[in-house]
Structure 1
Amino acid sequence: EAIVLPPYVTMAVRPRPGVWEFVSVNVYELTVEQLNVTEYLKSRERLVDER
């Protein structure tokens, strides 16, 4: 699952069953930040709010 809100691409990655990891990539700076569940869900809410 991916959320695109420039300059960030935020992704939920499932490396194995029952385990989720959340990362945000700043495509301008080419930096990666690991997120917790709350931060990831806030990104999803921002996407819905922008519609």
Structure 2
Amino acid sequence: MCADIAEGRVKKFDYCIVTAEVRSKKEEGRRKKEEGKIWFCLSFTAL
């Protein structure tokens, strides 16, 4: 599921949430960008 979200192979709505999370952390660098995706995946699957 996480790989699908990270690569954009899911509904556009879900991917937009991911990119918004990533964008909010972009000043913290690429590592934080990846953590943003992982954080979203964990919260998404927990619902």
Q: Which has more radius of gyration? A: 1
Q: Normalized per residue, which structure has more helix?
A: 2
Per the TM superposition, whether the score is higher than 0.5 is no
Shorter-chain TM-score category?
A: 0.3 to 0.5
TM-score, normalised relative to structure 2: 0.40
TM-score, normalised relative to structure 1: 0.38
